[in-house]
């Protein structure tokens, strides 16, 4: 039945499990373990766990399972495994399948901690990594080899919002039987169908839009059942990166309103990007659905909306950017995104501070660049706030 529901219905109802009390709101099963009726029952459960049977919270928990079932239904994935953070999800997706001697091709523009996993951890264990410009399909074609095991990318890059042609990259990767792993945070489960476009594994930091209210860390890996309940679950449950039941409950509640929040945020982001384009204090405005964006056509083919984040590049570099940030009255200076509150970030001095200057230049992280994660406040109030702060520059 739930297969026929549209996403917004699934966000409210899929995956629910009610106890004998028939509670309306999902229960938090804040328990580490489970009691067996007999020694024989304990033995049997360690051989095979049934639908409503659990062993230990690191392996699975009813509240966590509700969240996994709900997000799998929304994403159209066979299964999902919830993790302690977005990084536990990325690490699990990669480490559970790779071994010494394997080859990985990855887009260069990555979240800093993803880059650390590839360059520092996987490289140390003898995995060979080739980095490419994610937007250049010819570079993918040249880098993917018959022995490439995994292809990794962010469908929309942070903070310059470049868009990867996921369909084409997946086709090339599958010619070599490589597993396509997509970090899909910026695209959100609302606007993207990464699995339909060819991804094998989709990863979210649920810390972002899915919680959406700045409370909990979390992550999730989605894909085919044989992968999720095979190597991924084995890796996660034995290395300890599982999601806590309390955080799973927060994420379940976040999913209920995800569609409403993200659509409101995306509408505001589009309106703000359009209003700011051509402003005389700005070098450029980056937003995937603007006609001036180099990947607008691919973005429109892959995503229903342009997303909830835009970046602006101020004339006058870091000094102008800092004056702008300090003059804002509604938008807060922080580094999360996808939150109900609008959040501004100066990547060059915070999230991307550690990158060497030549890397920053290569990725377009200029001193004047400011990332704006648009919240659910009134659109006109946000625009007025941004315009008055630009006046101060």
- Interface ranges with ligand PLP (CB under 6 A): 85-87, 90, 111, 114, 154, 158, 183, 185, 205, 207-208, 217, 219
Is residue 190 within 8 A of residue 304, CB to CB? The reply is: yes
Give whichever of 160 and 205 is closer to ligand PLP, judged by the CB atom: 205
Shortest Å, Cβ 46 to ligand PLP? 31
When CB distances to ligand PLP are compared, the closest residue is 86
Give whichever of 62 and 219 is closer to ligand PLP, judged by the CB atom: 219
Shortest Å, Cβ 112 to ligand PLP? 9
- Reported as type and span, the H/E element at residue 137 is helix 137-143
Shortest Å, Cβ 86 to ligand PLP? 2
Of 187, 229, 222, the closest CA to residue 67 belongs to 222
Is residue 197 within 8 A of residue 302, CB to CB? The reply is: yes
- Rounded CA separation 305/307 (Å): 6
Give whichever of 108 and 279 is closer to ligand PLP, judged by the CB atom: 108
The 3-state DSSP class for residue 144 equals coil
- Rounded CA separation 54/34 (Å): 7
Shortest Å, Cβ 118 to ligand PLP? 12
The DSSP string of 58-85 is TT--HHHHHHHHHHHHHHT-SEEEEESS
Shortest Å, Cβ 302 to ligand PLP? 16
Give whichever of 134 and 219 is closer to ligand PLP, judged by the CB atom: 219
Shortest Å, Cβ 218 to ligand PLP? 6
CB atoms within 10 A of CB 257: 15
Q: Name the DSSP letter for residue 136.
A: -
- Rounded CA separation 231/210 (Å): 25
Give whichever of 209 and 281 is closer to ligand PLP, judged by the CB atom: 209
Shortest Å, Cβ 386 to ligand PLP? 22
Give whichever of 207 and 302 is closer to ligand PLP, judged by the CB atom: 207
**In 213-299, where do the E strands start and end?**
219-223, 282-286
Give whichever of 15 and 219 is closer to ligand PLP, judged by the CB atom: 219
Measure Cα distances from 256 to 16, 60, 110, 202 in Å: 12, 22, 29, 20
């Amino acid at each position: 039945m739930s297969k026929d529901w549209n996403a917004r219905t699934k966000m409210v109802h899929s995956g629910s499990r009610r106890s004998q009390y028939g509670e309306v709101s999902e229960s938090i099963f804040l328990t580490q373990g489970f009691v067996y009726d007999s020694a024989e029952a304990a033995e049997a459960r360690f051989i095979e766990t049934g639908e409503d049977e659990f062993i230990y919270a690191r392996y699975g928990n009813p509240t966590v399972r509700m969240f996994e079932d709900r997000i799998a239904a929304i994403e159209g994935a066979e299964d999902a495994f919830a993790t302690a953070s977005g990084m536990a999800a990325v690490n699990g997706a990669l480490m559970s399948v790779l071994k010494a001697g394997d080859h990985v091709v990855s887009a260069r523009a990555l979240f800093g901690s993803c880059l650390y996993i590839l360059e520092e951890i996987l490289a140390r264990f003898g995995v060979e990594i080739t980095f490419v410009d994610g937007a250049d399909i010819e570079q993918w074609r040249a880098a993917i080899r018959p022995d490439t095991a995994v292809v990794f990318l962010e469908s929309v890059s942070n903070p310059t919002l470049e868009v990867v042609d996921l369909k084409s990259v997946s086709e090339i990767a599958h010619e070599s039987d490589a597993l396509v792993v997509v970090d899909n945070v910026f695209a959100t489960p609302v606007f993207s169908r990464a699995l339909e476009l060819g991804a094998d594994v989709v990863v979210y930091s649920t810390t972002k839009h899915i919680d959406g209210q700045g409370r909990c860390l979390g992550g999730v890996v989605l894909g085919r059942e044989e992968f999720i309940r095979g190597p991924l679950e084995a890796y996660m449950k034995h290395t300890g990166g599982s999601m806590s039941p309390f955080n799973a409950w927060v994420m379940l509640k976040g999913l209920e309103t995800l569609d409403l929040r993200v659509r409101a945020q995306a509408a505001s982001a589009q309106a703000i990007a359009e209003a700011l384009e051509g402003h005389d204090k700005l070098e450029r405005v980056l937003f995937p659905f603007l006609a001036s964006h180099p990947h607008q056509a691919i973005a429109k083919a892959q995503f229903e909306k342009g997303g909830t984040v835009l970046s602006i590049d101020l004339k006058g570099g870091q000094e102008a950017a800092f004056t702008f940030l300090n003059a804002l009255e509604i938008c807060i200076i922080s580094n999360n995104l996808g939150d109900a509150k609008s959040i501004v970030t100066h990547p060059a001095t915070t999230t991307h501070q550690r990158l060497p200057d030549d890397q920053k230049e290569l990725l377009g992280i200029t001193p004047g660049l400011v990332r704006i994660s648009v919240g659910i406040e009134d659109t006109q109030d946000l625009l007025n706030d941004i315009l008055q702060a630009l006046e101060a520059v």
